[in-house]
Amino acid sequence: QELAGILCRMPKAELHIHIEGSLEPELIFALARKNGIELAYPSIEALRAAYAFTDLQSFLDIYYAGAGVLQTEDDFFDMAWSYLNRAKADNVIHAEIFFDPQTHTARGVPFATVINGLDRAVRRGREELGLSASLILCFLRHLSEADAFATLEEALPFRDKFIGVGLDSGERGNPPEKFAALFARCRELGLRLVAHAGEEGPASYISDALDLLQAERIDHGVRCLEDPQLVARLAAQRIALTVCPLSNVKLAVFPELGHHNLARLLAAGVVATINSDDPAYFGGYLNRNFTATFDALPELGAREAYLLARNSFEASFVAEETRKEWI
Ligand code: ES4
Ligand code: ZN
């Protein structure tokens, strides 16, 4: 009703979106056909029916398989252009977009193909949609630190096309400390630093991402509530969490949206934001994440809507002068 209208119409930033997670089944099938790739599912409906995840790993298996249809620079452009148009429709005015180069270079797709396609979409988004967007290179934490260093080397000739680095994929057994040297190097290079932590992993992974990786923002981070001292630190230092409510329910981090801890995080003074994570897989883009979460949590009202939009700008990596105009 009225609140839903406010949520959908208000300008906002999206800070946690994996571009490969915006690949819709229709585009997966179109690209598979164009590129002569055999899919494990006979139809769009059969693929969509397989989106019944039990945990993070069961999702990642299907997500990496879906990304396997991307071959040419135009494929990467089409995927990102489609996301940017969806984001525009949700009144997203700024997006910081993750991409997973190792998923593609491991299949023989050159790094240049990936980033040039994505960069072309980002630039067209600025020009034609008036949507500011930038790219964040994510390292896959289930692979070795040496593999990540090699990817960083490949990326450096394109240093001007991404603003920072992140850490994603399976959290359990792949703690932040595995990538301490890599993140130290990225920091020296002037890259902005974020990391997934405290989605499936324990609260200690959040503290370690801050202390050992110097992460400036935590992706997910919802398990911080298991450590009251950590919550106090996040609030005091205004370290933002990029929370993804529909993702958390689809991957069974919470049993249902009504059990999500977003309202508690905000009440504790944590700079939380709402994001879509992998919208093609988790049942909705940004506005659906907002409306479904506000529907499920009665503590959330107009004040929190405004707070979440403001947090999204505060937590973004855009220049402070621009940020102030948006807030
Ligand atoms: C992801 Cl939800 C989530 N968690 C970790 N890594 C990811 N990559 C894409 N989506
Ligand atoms: Zn994510």
> What residues form the annotated binding site?
16, 18, 196, 277-278
Nearest atom of ligand 1 to the alpha carbon of 100: 8
The pLDDT of residue 85: 98
Residue 98's DSSP bridge partners are 18, 136
Cite the annotated binding site for substrate by residue number.
Answer: 278
The secondary structure of residue 136, as a DSSP letter, is E
* Contact status, residue 243 vs residue 262, Cβ threshold 8 Å: yes
pTM, entire model: 0.98
CA–CA separation, 249 and 255 (whole Å): 6
Pocket residue to mutate for ligand 1, from 20, 169, 194, most atoms within 8 A of Cβ:
169
> Which has the closest alpha carbon to 309: 94, 1, 18, 22?
94
Residue 327: per-residue pLDDT = 84
Helix (H) or strand (E) holding 153, with range, is: helix 145-155
CA 235 – CA 189 distance, rounded (Å): 28
Dist CA 66 CA 103 (whole Å) = 11
Atom 6 in ligand 1: residue holding the nearest Cα? 169
Q: Which atom of ligand 1 is nearest to the CA of 63?
A: 9
ipTM computed for the complex: 0.97
Give the pLDDT confidence score for residue 1 in this predicted structure: 72
CA nearest to 196, candidates 136, 151, 254? 136
Residues within 5 A (CB) of ion ligand 2: 277
Catalytic pick among 20, 199, 200, 304? 199
Ligand 2 centroid–CA 302 distance in Å is: 26
Two structure tokens written together for 125: 């988004």
Cα 8 to the chain's mean position, in Å?
20
Per-residue pLDDT of the chain (327 residues; tens, 9 = 90+): 799 999 999 999 999 999 999 999 999 999 999 999 999 999 999 999 999 999 999 999 999 999 999 999 999 999 999 999 999 999 999 999 999 999 999 999 999 999 999 999 999 999 999 999 999 999 999 999 999 999 999 999 999 999 999 999 999 999 999 999 999 999 999 999 999 999 999 999 999 999 999 999 999 999 999 999 999 999 999 999 999 999 999 999 999 999 999 999 999 999 999 999 999 999 999 999 999 999 999 999 999 999 999 999 999 999 999 988 898
Cβ neighbour number for residue 6 with a 10 Å cutoff: 16
2-23+76-326 has which CATH code?
A: 3.20.20.140
Question: Residue 317 to residues 142, 190, 193, 229: CA-CA distances in angstroms?
Answer: 26, 13, 10, 26
Cβ atoms < 10 Å from Cβ of 54: 10
pLDDT at residue 247, rounded to an integer: 98
Single-letter amino acid, residue 151 = T
Which atom of ligand 1 is nearest to 278's Cα?
10
Ligand 1, CB within 6 Å, residue ranges: 18, 21, 56, 63, 168-169, 196, 199, 247, 277-278
d(C-alpha 237, C-alpha 255), whole Å:
30
Atom 7, ligand 1: residue with shortest CA distance: 169
Catalytic (active site) residue 199: yes
Q: Which of 300, 317, 219 is nearest to 263 (CA)?
A: 300
- Distance of CA 188 to CAs 43, 156, 250, 289, Å? 47, 13, 37, 36
